[in-house]
Amino acid sequence: MAKAVMTFPADFRWGTATAAYQVEGNNTNSDWWQWEHSGSNILEGHKSGLASDWWQNAEADLDLAAEMGNNAHRLSLEWSRIEPEPSVFDQAALDRYRQILQAMHDRGIEPMVTLHHFSNPIWLAEKGDFNSSLVLDYFKRYTAKVVDALGDLIPKWVTINEPMVYAVLRYLDGVFPAPQRKGYGAALEAVGNMLRCHAAAYHIIKEQYPQAEVGIAKNTAVLEPAPGGMLNGWWARKASWFYNEAIWDTLVDGRFRWPFGHGKVDGLAGSFDFIGINYYTRFYLKFPPRGKLWEEEWGPEAVVSDGNYGEVYPEGLFRVIKSVLKYDKPIYITENGLPDATDRLRPSYLITHLREIWRAISFCYPVMGYYHWSLVDNFEWDRGWTQRFGLIELDPETQERKLRKSGQLYGEMCRSGSLSSEMAEQYAPDLIPALFPGQVPERDS
Ligand code: IFM
């Protein structure tokens, strides 16, 4: 078979992503630890325990990432480790983060660091977390400490991970640690405070490191009207703006708009250097919504990942990239992946999603990097260990790890900076007719 190759730009970031609470283990000062250890909040009663043991040995997975040829990794810092009590900072924790960040640089892996990825110090949760206006000063103080201690090692920053997901799962769905107040009002107020914290953190970072790139990682879903129902289309457009775009619009002009509130927020206008997209799937919307924003009705043809997590819909990645071009910023795919314990879908998922990115780049859309979620199996919040997202398979009991077949494939892509018909032939031959239609068997001479 003649070989066809889709080549990526030489400076493309080939990365993976993790979050502190999900991989470090023993984050005993976090509200998530409390949540896990009270009641039956986690599927099958799972516990994070040692998680993927990054606090002691992140280096094991970083070695594998380097072998795969990854040149970037997105990780987060656990606020509750750094500041276990209000204004008490743990130097040993900061030192360990320095070590991990240095270990990345030593392996040619550029860090992108998230300041807040779902978990809070217990003391902050007790004060009302992002519902309390106090959070702004606390977040500023935490950010300033991190920038002083670690900023020289961090070229890329995400201030807040998935603000809308945090708000929905914590204040509305109740699958995240119970807040002091629940409901739509509390959720919207929290998003507003997250944006205030983002703006403040943006300027604290840029003041010391003007070259640093700072943004938000925003969960972005394709939201489509469910079939039937005259108002479904109208509702899907409204919900899509609200869920996917309202935050970016707010960051452009610094003006809160309905339903976040109103009025200008100091320092918010223009406070983002890139768009971070966490893309997983598409959902369908019905009007009027019945209890939840969207329906998980995937349709008879849909390929669905483990635990009904979501439909595999690669074209959606191209669509969401296109939808943020109007903001005229570099784009990073800060998360993309699926739960797939047996790796039955992940090889073709990687090929089809990376192909959508290649297609976007070939239209000159500024997609600068891809961070696959996740490098290693990790603690999937309320779904515990039931969902496995890793390119590296982990046994949390023994901490043994093994690169999945999809990890081998991603390694081939990273090392070659490309996606080829040979890779498809080896890892997902069913894709050849659709993805490489021009490919014909070579004639024997
Ligand atoms: O594990 C999560 C992550 O913390 C945030 N984005 C989605 C991932 C998979 O569910």
Cα dihedral value 292, 186, 19, 249, nearest 10: 80
Per-residue pLDDT reduced to its tens digit, 205-246: 999 999 999 999 999 999 999 988 889 999 999 999 999 999
Domain residue limits, the chain: 5-435
**Residue 378 CA, closest ligand 1 atom number:** 1
Question: How far does residue 380's CA lie from ligand 1's centre (Å)?
Answer: 7
**Which CB contacts under 8 angstroms, 24+ apart, belong to 181-186?**
181/128, 181/131, 186/131
Sign of the CA dihedral running 44, 50, 54, 59: negative
Q: What is the pLDDT of residue 445?
A: 43
Rounded alpha-carbon distances, angstroms, from residue 118 to 20, 160, 184, 364 = 10, 8, 18, 33
Q: What is the pLDDT of residue 232?
A: 94
Ligand 1 lining (C-beta closer than 6 Å): 19, 22, 162, 278, 335, 373, 380, 389
Average pLDDT over residues 98-103: 99
| Cα 432 from chain centre | 29
Per-residue pLDDT reduced to its tens digit, 297-307: 787 789 999 99
Measured between alpha carbons, how far apart are the two ends of the chain, in Å? Answer: 13
**Residue 280 CA, closest ligand 1 atom number:** 7
Considering the four listed CATH numbers 3.40.50.740, 3.10.290.10, 3.20.20.80, 3.40.1010.10, the one that applies to the domain covering 5-435 is 3.20.20.80
Q: What is the pLDDT of residue 161?
A: 98
Probe ligand 1: pick from 166, 168, 335, 338, max atoms within 8 Å of CB?
Answer: 335
Question: How far does residue 162's CA lie from ligand 1's centre (Å)?
Answer: 9
**Residue 278 CA, closest ligand 1 atom number:** 6
Per-residue pLDDT reduced to its tens digit, 13-62: 999 999 999 999 999 999 999 999 999 999 999 999 999 999 999 999 99
- DSSP category for residue 370: E
pTM of model > 0.85: yes
Bridge partners (DSSP) of residue 285 are 225
Question: How far does residue 443's CA lie from ligand 1's centre (Å)?
Answer: 47
Question: How far does residue 115's CA lie from ligand 1's centre (Å)?
Answer: 15
Q: What percent of the chain has pLDDT over 70?
A: 98
Average pLDDT over residues 140-146: 99
**Residue 161 CA, closest ligand 1 atom number:** 5
Rounded-to-integer distance, Cα 205 and Cα 192, Å: 20
**Residue 337 CA, closest ligand 1 atom number:** 9
Question: How far does residue 18's CA lie from ligand 1's centre (Å)?
Answer: 9
Q: Can you give the C-alpha Rg of the chain in angstroms?
A: 21
Residue bearing the CA closest to ligand 1, atom 1: 380
Mean pLDDT of the chain: 95
Per-residue pLDDT reduced to its tens digit, 60-100: 999 999 999 999 999 999 999 999 999 999 999 999 999 99
Cβ atoms of 338 and 346 within 8 Å: the answer is yes
Cβ atoms of 357 and 333 within 8 Å: the answer is yes
Bridge partners (DSSP) of residue 419 are 6
**Residue 118 CA, closest ligand 1 atom number:** 4
Residue 92: how many CA atoms within 13 Å on its side-chain side? 3
Per-residue pLDDT reduced to its tens digit, 366-419: 999 999 999 999 999 999 999 999 999 999 999 999 999 999 999 999 999 999
Probe ligand 1: pick from 24, 170, 377, 381, max atoms within 8 Å of CB?
Answer: 381
Compute the residue count for the chain: 445
